[in-house]
Structure 1
Amino acid sequence: MSIRLRALIIDDEELARRLSKEYLRSHADIDIVGECENGLEAIEAITAQQPDLIFLDIQMPKLNGFEVLEATGRREGVIFTTAYDQYALKAFDQHAVDYLLKPYSQQRFDDALNKARKLLGQTSTEVIDLVAHTNAMPERLTVRDRGQTHVIPIAQIDYIEAQDDYVQIHFNGKSLLKTQSLSDLEKQLNPTLFVRIHRSTIIRLQALKCLERASKDSYQAVMLNGVILPISRSGYDRIKGML
């Protein structure tokens, strides 16, 4: 007996969504649980439906496909569908199931589905990792908080602090908690714009006002918003080399 898979179609073009549904008609083991036309809708649908399989466009209004994955922490069952070939390497770096370049045929679509079936039948956590190994440096961060999705432009971030299993992102006079380690988030940030000044703190260099001596052997960072943050010895060496 074959396992039934629940699929979500995400694309801002109605014709593209219609084509995916048409191609899926010949696959009796696939149930379509919904369709979305922008990134914010996609985040809500993925969170609510928890589909086994996602057909995901990349360039969409509000949030792109990669940002949707980052916001939801999606780790498996993603088939990219896009008209742009320049994102292929990034998609496969993230271990996507497949990358369908529009316009694609029924046969090409079926091949991608067969790959997905094989991968989804495996239980190893090493099969797919869509987020942790990405080399992308996003221009925005997305944070889920109390049922809402917040989009934080990188340019508005002042500093980021580790809080147990979370990071607290301080930006534009506000702060939000995100479920992620500081080390993992650091890998996503542009090292020419951000620097880790302490084991628990990363700052954006343009949000820094000045460095001042806290004691004979230590310094602290004075931010433009008035916050004062401690700097470790290794952190001082890193930031000194960037100023």
Structure 2
Amino acid sequence: MRVIIVDDEELARGVVREFLRPHAGVEIVAECANGFEAVKAITELEPDLVFLDIQMPKLDGFEVVELAGSKPRYVFVTAYDQYALKAFEIHAVDYLLKPFSQQRFDQALAHARAGLGETQPAEEMAKQAAARSAPLERVLIRDGARVHVIAAGKVDMIVAQDDYVEIHAEGRSYLKNQRLSELESQLDPGCFVRIHRSYIVNIERVSRIEQATKDTHQAVLKDGTVVPVSRSGYQKVRSLVR
């Protein structure tokens, strides 16, 4: 079993390392101190199991799962019990609450060994990990081994591109493997409006709505970009833009 340990505290990583020592057939292939390192290591090393902290710098544990997918199994290791339900919603193997005993750790490892053959499609686990009861505050985009973290308020517009979305923010565009309807459900509806089947705009970036032809309208963003507006989109947006 190939294992990665992810925690921003070296002492916490050391505890997991020591608790793994008595177990034969376990190889620790990497230790990571933040979410960026974790995504890179999981993607490149393809471990069987990840012991994953939740509250970390740069990316939290759930964001790591969203970006790295479900090929490995995950055991969340945290000092906070309020994330347990969310962890099991994304099919975590176990949830270790710090401080934990060797016996409790051994139980979690046994659960992981038993479930190694039961994998879930990566896109489904990523979808569940991305789900938020509150609107997204930032959008995560994996570009090979790199990760872009974009504050939601910096996004100008989002365009559907088949199974991808093209996210425009601060003069740049990024492709994310996600459907427009799924991302729409995660964004703040008070800030983002789907004005067309293929377009979502940040209301703060809209300069005006104008008539394009006798029967159609278009939105003009503050940077001059022109975006088509459907009939239903016009009804949604006209009361929000003066």
TM-score (norm 1): 0.89
In structure 1, what is the equivalent of residue 218 of structure 2? 220
Q: Which amino acid aligns with 1:237?
A: Q
Is 1:96–1:128's contact at 8 Å kept on the other side of the alignment?
A: no
Note closer, same or farther for the CA distance 1:188–1:76 as it changes in structure 2 (3 Å cut). Answer: farther
CA 128–113 in structure 1, closer or farther in 2 if over 3 Å, else same: farther
Q: Is the 8 A contact 1:95 1:128 kept in 2?
A: no
1:47 corresponds in structure 2 to 43
Deviations 1:135-191 (A, max 9, x none): 314322222225422111111100111112321110011111112222222232222
Shift of 1:6: 1.0
Instruction: Provide the alpha-carbon RMSD of the alignment.
Output: 2.1
Task: Determine the C-alpha separation between the residues in 2 that align with 1:35 and 1:126.
Answer: 25
**Residues 26-67 of structure 1: CA deviation (Å, up to 9, x unaligned):** 221321110000111111111111111111111111111122
Within a 5 Å distance, the mapping from 1:171-190 to structure 2 comes to: 171-190=169-188
Equivalent residue in structure 1 for 2:127, among 115, 119, 132: 132
Identity %: 54
Distance 1:90 1:192 in 2: 25
8 Å CA contact retained: 2:4, 2:47: yes
Letter in 2 for 1:210: R
Structure 1 residues 92, 240: CA separation in 2 closer, same or farther (over 3 Å shift)?
farther
Partner of 1:234: 232
Partner residue, 2:81: 85
Q: How many residues align?
A: 238
How far the C-alpha of 1:242 sits from its partner, in A, is 5.1
Distance 1:43 1:226 in 2: 36
Q: 1:66 maps to which residue?
A: 62
Where in structure 1 are there 5+ consecutive unaligned residues?
none
Query: Is residue 35 from structure 1 mapped to residue 35 from structure 2 by the alignment?
Result: no
> Could you state the TM-score of these two structures normalised by the residue count of structure 2?
0.89
In 2, Cα distance between equivalents of 1:115 and 1:20: 16
Contact 1:76–1:130 under 8 Å retained in 2: no
Tell me the distance in 1 between the aligned counterparts of 2:83 and 2:203: 29
- Give the unaligned 5+ runs of structure 2: none
CA contact (8 A) 1:9 1:17 kept: yes
Q: Which amino acid aligns with 1:149?
A: V
In structure 2, the CA distance between the partners of 1:18 and 1:139, relative to structure 1 (3 Å rule), is same
Distance 1:15 1:203 in 2: 45
Deviation at 1:118, TM superposition (A): 2.3
In the TM superposition, residue 8 of structure 1 has moved relative to its aligned partner by: 0.5
Superposed CA deviations along residues 58-86 of structure 1, whole A, max 9, x for unmatched, are: 11111111222222234551111111122
1:10 alignment counterpart:
6
The reply to whether residue 112 of structure 1 matches residue 104 of structure 2 is no
Pairs within 5 Å for 1:136-215 = 136=132, 137-215=135-213
- Would the alpha carbon gap of residues 110 and 201 (structure 1) be closer, same or farther in structure 2, given more than 3 Å must change? same
